[in-house]
């Protein structure tokens, strides 16, 4: 006679097995009715004996109505984006770059690029421990309870060679059939419709009620493993193993030994993808060998060992109803085409960017024109042409605005630039609000306030720039429409927390033109406090890696502006971090001060990116080419012969990674 605990464990194991047979193998061995009866037995026993609770029991598939907020989780391995390409010639360029960098045989794995919402599943000792969204790539939301309701996500891995810790990356999807049924139900209830399956999956995954998530029939498609002790050195072989563990790994995956095999895969799926049950928007190419991936490393944004090929965009034709203009935080004015709604690539398109005056003139647009619309990369709608034979009863010719649509200032266009700007940066409301919106974003100061509330505070003269956020009082907020005690206190707490945001993020938040997130990090390393940056000369700025003349001049211009200096000083008074932390400063040395180092080849102990960081942390400068100003070449295996020849000619010393690390020691 089995004990109660043994009965529960047996039911769980049986249901896990049936889930695997149904969702992974597509070979069910019992009917849905029999499955439901077993599930109900388990639910009843677990309710009667809560002491045997297991967070990965098959019963969690039905979800719960317990509301919870999502906590933020820092990714152990950052979730980076992929560089996109749209032509076979660019694929050839990628292949040749990899071939040149590795200087040895390699294979490429081709996989379908599923158009869902990114997820990272963490398994510890074979048990699902955590599920985290991509977020900003560095941290995401913990959506474990919701992901546990997804039927083809294994709660417990099966099989052999399972690491104690493994992170599985993939996409959470909603099939076309489920998407259409969901929108039919929402239409009947007079609820807003989802634009596409990706939005529906993303919105569902962030619901507070996991019972609703369970009812939406989401699916997972997994495509990458991460961890310190993966089974093999082959990405392809690891994914085949992952499929045996119970993970839903697509069978539409191929390991290619030549560029011709890659092209054959692309051409086949360009047509065949339309027969798939879920949305795909391209093919991902990855170097198969994990050690070769490590040697290739990363740029500031993308892995060098992978690239995404996006399928040719679908086109539609519709009528141009009007043109409006948007003003951004930098004053850039963007024309927007307002269109008669048309269905395109699974979404309803009502607006499309017209980019700039040159683009408008090239199209020769009139209001009422029938225009061809497509999605660049299947994401951003754009007008690619006009059906001039369909012209009749035309309206006015589209001519780019001469004045700012919001403040009326005469627009300017710098020589050599395609974009018009509103010069009234201190008096144009969209620019001011836009700078505040940029300041509060998660990648900047991470203050929890949305555009509508920023507009409300600005319109009520409570803030005039982002520094004024630090002067807000409880009584300022509680008297405003739609503000309750809790929301007011939450904002004030968020503002207070932002005072501890790191210096490089503050630099990004300041909104200096051309200073993005990566540039801000480079500047923070080179100039460890705001005063050093304010006093930097043009020559000092362009010595920093990735800082060109345009960025350098923009930084100088910002600190020549008295209003910008006043803005920074008010942030200083309020306690915002305007220098690197003591920990980071303590780790900085001048061991490589004044030295310019070129990195070439592939390495065993650290990646190229790690060596670049070490050089910066120790006062050195990275360079991509050998010149008379080069002090050392940090050389790995397969160093480029041209660089070696030039180094010998110029008398530049070549060192290996162990000698370099000894210099730092």
Q: Which fold has domain 429-500?
A: DNA polymerase; domain 1 (1.10.150)
Alpha-carbon distance of 35 to 33, in angstroms, equals 5
DSSP-derived 3-state class of residue 663? helix
Q: What are phi and psi of 263, to 5 degrees?
A: -65, -35
Helix, strand, coil in percent for the chain, rounding step 5: 40, 20, 40
Where do the DSSP E strands lie in 259-329?
A: 280-287, 306-310, 315-327
Question: Residue 397, Cβ neighbours under 10 Å: how many?
Answer: 11
Residue 313 has pLDDT above 80, yes or no: no
Q: Which fold has domain 315-390?
A: OB fold (Dihydrolipoamide Acetyltransferase, E2P) (2.40.50)
**Vertex 77: Cα angle to 657 and 589 (nearest 5):** 45
Q: Are 433 and 458 in contact (CB under 8 A)?
A: yes
Residue range 307-313: average pLDDT? 86
Residue 566 has pLDDT above 60, yes or no: yes
pLDDT tens column, 364-406: 999 999 999 986 544 568 898 999 988 887 899 999 999 999 9
Domains 4-62 and 589-664 share a fold: no
- Give the pLDDT score at 173: 95
**Pairing mode, if any, of strands 347-353 and 315-327?**
unpaired
* Integer CA distances (angstroms), 156 to 141, 309, 514, in order: 22, 34, 47
Name every residue whose Cβ is closer than 8 Å to that of residue 275 and which is 6 or more positions away in sequence. Answer: none
- Cα 283 to chain centroid distance, Å, stands at 18
Residue 181 has pLDDT above 70, yes or no: yes
Query: What do you get for the CA distance between the two ends of the chain, in Å?
Result: 66
**Pairing mode, if any, of strands 596-600 and 621-623?**
parallel
Instruction: Tell whether pTM > 0.75.
Output: no
* Angular region, 223: left φ>0, alpha ψ -120 to 50, beta rest: alpha
- Cα 365 to chain centroid distance, Å, stands at 35
- Cα 289 to chain centroid distance, Å, stands at 24
- Give the pLDDT score at 23: 62
Please identify, in words, the CATH class of the domain defined by 4-62. mainly alpha
Strand partners of residue 538: none
Name every residue whose Cβ is closer than 8 Å to that of residue 567 and which is 6 or more positions away in sequence. Answer: 465, 466, 467, 510
Number of residues that make up the chain: 665
Positive or negative, the Cα torsion across 133, 134, 135, 138? positive
DSSP-derived 3-state class of residue 458? helix
Residue range 106-112: average pLDDT? 97
Q: Which residue among the candidates 37, 68, 100, 113 is catalytic per the annotation?
A: 113
Alpha-carbon distance of 354 to 336, in angstroms, equals 6
- Give the pLDDT score at 543: 84
Our CA dihedral for 336, 337, 342, 345, rounded to 10 degrees, sits at -50
Alpha-carbon distance of 381 to 336, in angstroms, equals 10
**Would you call 388 a catalytic residue per the annotation?**
no
Is domain 589-664 given the CATH code 3.40.50.10190 in the classification? yes
Positive or negative, the Cα torsion across 85, 88, 93, 99? positive
pLDDT tens column, 523-565: 998 899 999 999 999 999 998 877 889 899 999 999 999 999 9
Residue 594 has pLDDT above 90, yes or no: no
**Vertex 445: Cα angle to 439 and 450 (nearest 5):** 60
Alpha-carbon distance of 197 to 174, in angstroms, equals 5
**Pairing mode, if any, of strands 108-114 and 280-287?**
antiparallel
Within 151-196, residue ranges assigned H as helices are: 176-188
Residue 207 has pLDDT above 90, yes or no: no
Question: Residue 173, Cβ neighbours under 10 Å: how many?
Answer: 28
Q: Are 439 and 433 in contact (CB under 8 A)?
A: no
- Give the pLDDT score at 348: 81
Q: Are 179 and 204 in contact (CB under 8 A)?
A: no
Q: Which residues of 470-481 are buried (b: 16+ CB within 10 A; e: fewer)?
A: bebeeebbeeee
Q: How confident is the model at residue 88 (pLDDT cuts 50, 70, 90)?
A: very high
Nearest to 155 by CA among 26, 58, 25: 58
Nearest to 171 by CA among 142, 136, 197: 197
- Give the pLDDT score at 270: 87
* Integer CA distances (angstroms), 287 to 120, 235, 626, in order: 21, 8, 28
Q: Are 372 and 317 in contact (CB under 8 A)?
A: yes
pLDDT tens column, 505-521: 999 999 998 898 878 98
Nearest to 285 by CA among 106, 117, 43: 106
Alpha-carbon distance of 214 to 119, in angstroms, equals 17
Name every residue whose Cβ is closer than 8 Å to that of residue 217 and which is 6 or more positions away in sequence. Answer: 151, 174, 175, 178
Alpha-carbon distance of 340 to 349, in angstroms, equals 8
- Give the pLDDT score at 487: 92
Architecture category of domain 503-586 in CATH: Orthogonal Bundle (1.10)
Question: Residue 75, Cβ neighbours under 10 Å: how many?
Answer: 20
DSSP states of 52-84 as a string? Answer: G--TT-GGGGG------PPPEEE-SS------E
**Pairing mode, if any, of strands 280-287 and 253-256?**
unpaired
Nearest to 135 by CA among 187, 78, 181: 78
**Vertex 530: Cα angle to 511 and 581 (nearest 5):** 105
Q: Are 606 and 631 in contact (CB under 8 A)?
A: no
Residue 65 has pLDDT above 50, yes or no: no
Alpha-carbon distance of 250 to 24, in angstroms, equals 10
- Give the pLDDT score at 147: 94
Q: How confident is the model at residue 329 (pLDDT cuts 50, 70, 90)?
A: confident
* Integer CA distances (angstroms), 575 to 39, 174, 466, 467, 568, in order: 56, 46, 14, 11, 11
Q: What percent of the chain shows pLDDT beyond 70? A: 95
Q: What homologous superfamily is domain 84-310 in, according to CATH?
A: DNA ligase/mRNA capping enzyme (3.30.470.30)
Domain boundaries, the chain: 4-62, 84-310, 315-390, 429-500, 503-586, 589-664
Q: How many helices (H) and strands (E) does the chain have?
A: 25, 21
Q: What are phi and psi of 233, to 5 degrees?
A: -90, 5
Q: Are 316 and 343 in contact (CB under 8 A)?
A: yes
Within 61-132, residue ranges assigned H as helices are: 88-102
Residue 584 has pLDDT above 80, yes or no: no
Nearest to 19 by CA among 149, 192, 132: 149
């Amino acid at each position: 006679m089995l004990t109660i605990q043994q009965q529960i464990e047996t039911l769980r194991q049986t249901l896990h097995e049936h889930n695997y047979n149904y969702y992974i193998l597509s070979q069910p061995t019992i009917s849905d009715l029999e499955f439901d009866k077993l599930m109900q037995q388990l639910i009843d026993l677990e309710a009667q004996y809560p002491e045997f609770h297991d967070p990965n029991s098959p019963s969690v598939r039905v979800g719960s109505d317990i509301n919870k907020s999502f906590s933020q989780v820092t990714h152990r391995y950052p979730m980076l984006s992929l560089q996109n390409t749209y032509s076979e010639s660019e694929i050839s360029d990628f292949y040749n770059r990899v071939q040149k960098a590795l200087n040895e045989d390699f294979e490429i794995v081709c996989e379908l690029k599923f158009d869902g919402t990114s997820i990272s599943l963490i398994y510890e000792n074979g048990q699902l421990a955590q599920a985290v969204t991509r977020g900003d790539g560095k941290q995401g939301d913990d959506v474990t309870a919701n992901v546990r309701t997804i039927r083809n996500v294994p709660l417990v891995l099966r099989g052999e060679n399972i690491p104690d810790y493994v992170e599985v990356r993939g996409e959470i999807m909603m099939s076309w059939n489920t998407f259409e049924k969901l929108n039919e139900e929402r239409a009947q209830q007079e609820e807003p419709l989802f634009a596409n399956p990706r939005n529906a999956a993303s919105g569902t995954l962030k619901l507070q009620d996991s019972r609703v998530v369970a009812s939406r029939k989401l699916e997972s498609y997994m495509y990458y493993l991460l961890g310190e002790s993966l089974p093999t050195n082959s990405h392809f072989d690891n994914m085949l193993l992952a499929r045996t563990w119970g993970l839903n790994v697509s069978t539409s995956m191929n390991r290619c030994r030549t560029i011709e095999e890659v092209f054959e895969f692309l051409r086949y799926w360009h047509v065949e993808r339309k027969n798939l049950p879920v949305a795909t928007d391209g093919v991902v190419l990855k170097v198969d060998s994990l050690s070769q991936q490590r040697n290739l490393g990363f740029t500031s944004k993308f892995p060098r060992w992978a690239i995404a090929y996006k399928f040719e965009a679908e086109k539609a034709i519709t009528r141009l109803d009007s043109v409006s203009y948007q003003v951004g935080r930098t004053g850039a004015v963007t024309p927007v085409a307002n269109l008669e709604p048309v269905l395109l690539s699974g979404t309803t398109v009502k607006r499309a960017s017209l980019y700039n005056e040159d683009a408008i003139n090239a199209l020769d647009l009139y209001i009422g024109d029938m225009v061809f619309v497509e999605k660049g990369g299947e994401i951003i709608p754009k007008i690619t042409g006009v059906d001039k034979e369909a012209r009749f009863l035309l309206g006015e010719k589209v001519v780019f605005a001469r004045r700012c649509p919001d403040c009326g200032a005469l627009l300017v266009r710098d020589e050599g630039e395609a974009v018009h700007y509103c010069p009234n940066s201190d008096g144009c409301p969209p620019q001011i609000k836009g700078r505040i919106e940029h300041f509060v974003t998660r990648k900047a100061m991470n203050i929890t306030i949305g555009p509508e509330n920023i507009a409300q505070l600005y319109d009520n003269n409570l803030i005039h720039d982002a520094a004024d956020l630090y002067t807000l009082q409880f009584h300022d907020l509680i008297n405003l429409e739609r503000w309750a005690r809790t929301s007011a206190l939450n904002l004030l707490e968020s503002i207070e927390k932002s005072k501890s945001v790191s210096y490089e993020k503050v630099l990004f938040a300041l909104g200096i033109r051309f200073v993005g997130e990566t540039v801000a990090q480079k500047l923070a390393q080179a100039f460890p406090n705001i005063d050093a940056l304010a006093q930097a000369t043009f020559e000092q700025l362009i010595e920093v890696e990735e800082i060109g003349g345009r960025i350098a001049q923009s930084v100088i211009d910002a600190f020549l502006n008295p209003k910008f200096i006043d803005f920074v000083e008010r942030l200083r008074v309020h306690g915002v971090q305007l220098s690197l932390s003591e920990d980071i400063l303590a780790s900085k040395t001048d061991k490589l001060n004044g030295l310019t180092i070129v990195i070439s080849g592939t390495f065993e102990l650290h990646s190229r990116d790690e060596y670049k960081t070490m050089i910066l942390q120790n006062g050195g400068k990275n360079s991509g080419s050998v010149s008379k100003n080069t002090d050392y070449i940090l050389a790995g295996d397969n160093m480029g012969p041209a660089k070696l020849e030039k180094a010998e000619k110029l008398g530049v010393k070549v060192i290996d990674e162990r000698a370099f690390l000894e210099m730092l020691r």
